[in-house]
Copies of this chain bind each other. A is one copy, B any other.
Amino acid sequence: MANLKYSRQRAAIKEYLSSTLDHPTADTVYLHIREEFPNISLGTVYRNLNLLADMGEAVKISTPDGGDRFDGCTVPHYHVVCQSCGRVFDLKVDERYMQEMNELADQYFEGSVAAHTALFYGICKDCGGS
């Protein structure tokens, strides 16, 4: 493991991630942090987002279209992506249910399963989803 040293930039990124319910892309994070650190570079944002994700202090979400998104909420939960506006929403489900999924998968898979993510597709309230 590398020796981790404090940096204001990383602190600001973590702070921003945990303060928003959105699931910003790296670029969105960059634009936000730039208000406080006008000289911060996109490279630094990527480096820190990946660091946070590796440390388990953030989650990287891959969607089929566009870049990855980051989520500062480390409590396990699912995501819904709106097929109309593209926004990503949190979906809280009983954790026991998620654990059951892992166990079910572990039984069926020739190997071991440790975790999973689920991405639901739908239409959000603002876009007319009932």
Task: For residue A93, give the distance in angstroms from its CB to the closest CB of chain B.
Answer: 7
Q: Which residue of B lies closest to A129 (CB)?
A: B111
Q: Which residue of B lies closest to A89 (CB)?
A: B109
Complex interface: stretch among A4-12, A18-26, A36-44, A120-128:
A120-128
Chain B CB within 10 A, most for which of A60, A80, A106, A111: A111
The complex places the Cα of A78 from the Cα of B109 at a distance, in Å, of 11
Given A60-B64, A105-B78, A109-B91, A121-B125 contact (CB < 8 Å): no
Task: For residue A27, give the distance in angstroms from its CB to the closest CB of chain B.
Answer: 17
CB contacts (< 8 Å) of A97 on chain B: these are: 104
Number of chain A residues close to chain B: CB under 8 A: 40
Q: Which residue of B lies closest to A102 (CB)?
A: B120
Q: Quick check: B113 and A80 within 8 Å, CB to CB?
A: yes
Asked whether any CB of chain B lies closer than 8 Å to the CB of A112, the reply is: yes
Task: For residue A7, give the distance in angstroms from its CB to the closest CB of chain B.
Answer: 24
CB contacts (< 8 Å) of A101 on chain B: these are: 118
Q: Which of B62, B83, B104, B118 contacts A116 (CB 8 A)?
A: B118
Interface residues of A (CB under 8 A from B): 60, 62-64, 68, 78, 80, 82-83, 89, 91-93, 97, 101-102, 104-106, 108-125, 127, 129-130
